[in-house]
Amino acid sequence: MSTLETIPKYKQAVEQISQVYLNGTRSIGDKLPPERELAKRLGVSRTGVREALHYLREAGVIHSRQGGGHYLRVSRLEDAKGNQTVLQLKTDPSLTAEMLEVRRAIECEAVYLAAMRANKADLDTLFGYLEAMKHTLTEEQGAKADAGFHLTIVHASKNGMLNQAAEGLISQMEKNIETTRRQRFVTDASRYQTTYLEHEAIFQAVKGNRADEAKQLMLEHLNRAYEEI
């Protein structure tokens, strides 16, 4: 298998768009070609192009107008360095894997403690995020609820050091959750339901004060995401 074949299609699109349109030869405010044309030029599906444009938009490289296309915010990719960590985290599988390793270290211990220390307010908040994940209408809402669930687990641990560690990584954790969800769901829509059920099982273990079970369920949940990168 060639190196190109191992690179996700959306990452190929990000790199190709950057090479062609963010090499300093174009001006801020220039409009990118329509998605259909970009897909044809780059040899990538329209879904891949949409993913790439979404990442570039979040990295501050482009901005979009509803029904009006996509426009350059910078003329060179390096001019958007302020948000490159987020962009790299979302397009580089090795960084996604590293963040999941950090999350395992934090969240597996946090959920163990949460199962022993969570109060009613914590459980109500977790249940609210579960309900949001179950009934969400958009993936953006689902990702926010997913991130909220995991960060509430850390908060419910009542461990100041774990909370401090998580607070310093909130942005990266949120993007990691968004990325791993997208990678799972883009190829298998049934993963919405199984992912929800994984979170529900973790919640029930925390609610039932089953610390060892909660820790094992969290480990299995994060390991599945790791394996699907």
Confidence class for position 5, pLDDT limits 50, 70, 90: very low
Indicate yes or no: pTM above 0.85: no
Give the span between the Cα atoms of 78 and 23, in whole angstroms. Answer: 9
Percentage of the chain surpassing pLDDT 70?
85
Q: Which letter does DSSP use for residue 63 in this model? A: E
In this structure, how many other beta carbons lie within 10 angstroms of the beta carbon of residue 53? 21
Structure tokens given for 178: 């968004």
Instruction: Identify the structural domains of the chain with CATH numbers, from first to last.
Output: 3-82 (1.10.10.10), 92-227 (1.20.120.530)
Which of 118 and 89 is assigned the larger pLDDT?
118
CA 144 to chain centre: 9
Distance between first and last Cα of the chain: 17
Which of 65 and 71 is assigned the larger pLDDT?
71
Confidence class for position 156, pLDDT limits 50, 70, 90: very high
Residue of 66, 70, 93 whose CA lies nearest to 22: 70
